[in-house]
A = this chain, B = another copy of it.
């Protein structure tokens, strides 16, 4: 079977240990089957693409399908595992931690599982963070609570020091749960491990509340996030209507991609303007946002705006961009900026209004996962364990065309997933809000 090289997940070596899962290899016996190594999911499931492939005799791009393997790489009784959570909080972190531990301990019989505290910092001696033993009995109820029992931190740490720590602690598998920066870090760790010729698997469960990781349809916590955002927009709508020319301006998460703002707006159906990082917009001029805003208020006397935190970066000058501890560009805050510019303009025009600015970021990030995300976290964790036990390394657990997949880390950090302004999601936003397609000078 031909496959596009760059989509192949690296492997530590040949799998020779019989899986303890006791599954089946044949269909029809009523028992779940092991997944064969050549099971893959097509990237593009459209008929048009299929026909093009036929015509051009091209190999389609496909992703490895997740699932339990009959032969595994690590001997469970001799395996030691570390789990770390990095970056900002996201609903579902504790579900993933719990899912990993339960799967490792109860299904595979891996009994030595440790939790690294406060992100990658937890590996670095100078911080002095202690580790935690993770045992099923003690973590049974953590999925009901938000946050991460391991704690987290932002920013990279030296991959050499991390691998030193992995060696020192005799870790065989590292599960790292985090976003873009964390994945890049995981890739460096994988490379360092390879360089040292160690047999340590690095498995990543991608965490992005913004749902913006490349080649991954949906990330855990995202649904919970836009669900809570929708509730908050509903309240903000009350605030907007509760005052004459009431402006409710809600800043939502979304550094590079506006999925939360777009989805929440569609769930609520009462947002009048959605601003996302993917679009350009001008504030001033006859077709500018502020002109539109005034017209809207004159007509309806209230407006509800959802703005993704990364929107409108073009409004700031280049040199004001610096980076935060994780190396992300530290955007100027569009929320506050917009609030102040609107105030400035309407005060100048002596136009009466009432501004309510709402920033629910931490309220959303710290919430427990909803039922669907809980379910999803659990299966992500199971697939991460299956793959890591089978010696896969430097990989990310994904979801594509309704199936769980495995991707090499580099493919997932090459780019961000973004809202296509020509796509159906954004078209729905435009139609639901009734906002203009463009705000130009």
Contacts and interface: CB of A to CB of B under 8 A. Distances in A.
Interface of A: 1, 3, 23-24, 27-33, 38-42, 45-48, 50-51, 54, 60, 62, 65, 67, 89, 98, 103, 106-107, 117-118, 121, 127, 129, 141, 143-148, 151-153, 217, 223, 226-227, 230-232, 234-239, 241-244, 246, 248, 263-264, 266-269, 354, 356, 358-360, 362-363, 365-367, 370-372, 374-375, 378-379, 382, 401-403, 421-424, 426-428, 430-432, 434, 437
A398 to B, nearest CB: 13
Closest 7 interchain pairs by CB?
A147-B238, A32-B427, A235-B366, A40-B47, A45-B45, A267-B371, A227-B371
Contacts of A223: 371-372
A422 B370 contact: no
Contacts of A431: 103, 106-107
A147 B239 contact: yes
Given A29-B422, A227-B371, A46 B40 contact: yes
A93 B424 CA distance: 22
A32 B243 contact: no
A243 B422 contact: no
B118 A244 contact: yes
Given A42-B45, A230-B371, A242 B147 contact: yes
Contacts of A60: 47, 50
Given A41-B47, A269-B374, 15 more contacts: A1-B47, A29-B422, A33-B422, A47-B60, A67-B424, A118-B244, A147-B237, A148-B242, A153-B354, A230-B371, A264-B371, A267-B372, A268-B374, A358-B362, A363-B363
B51 A54 contact: no
Nearest to A35: B424
Of the listed residues A67, A223, A244, A375, the one surrounded by the most CB atoms of chain B closer than 10 A to its CB is A375
B152 A31 contact: no
Contact of A42 (B47, B230, B363): B47
Given A375-B263, A424-B32, A46 B41 contact: yes
A316 B25 CA distance: 34
Contacts of A54: 54
Given A121-B244, A267-B372, A46 B39 contact: yes
A437 B31 contact: yes
A335 to B, nearest CB: 12
Contact of A244 (B89, B151, B374): B151
